[in-house]
Amino acid sequence: MLFIVLFVVGLSGYAVFAGLGIRYVFAHIAGLGILGLLGYWAASIAKKKGHGYPRALFLGFVLPVALGVISVGVVYASGGHGCGGIVSLFAAFVVILYYAVARKRGDSLKACRLQEPKDEKGG
């Protein structure tokens, strides 16, 4: 719910302050809302597959935000300017893709049990 509110507030503020420089602050607030929703998506996929919900939410939200900030820092350090939004979105989708193709937790143990050698009595 928090991320939906961030997105709506950011989008509304961007529209209201369209002619002012503060609109970029609201654009970034909306971006945090979008990244949060993508993080929830990754966490819900992870939960269905038996992985930890908090860890997936962390990887789906905090990691992309941090990578976006780092990319902006690198660009500014090299003398340019830009937005780390594309890096953040890419990282969020990579996390979603990771959990989408990850095995269900416990599946690898089942496969190992199926391949256990039989005992000498034939059982």
Where do the domains of the chain lie?
Answer: 2-114
Q: What is the pLDDT of residues 17-27, one digit of tens each?
A: 988 989 989 99
Give tens-digit pLDDT for 77-112. 998 888 888 999 999 999 999 999 988 876 555 554
pTM given for the model: 0.77
Beta-carbon contacts of 92 under 8 Å, excluding residues fewer than 6 positions away, are 35, 38, 39, 42, 60, 61, 64
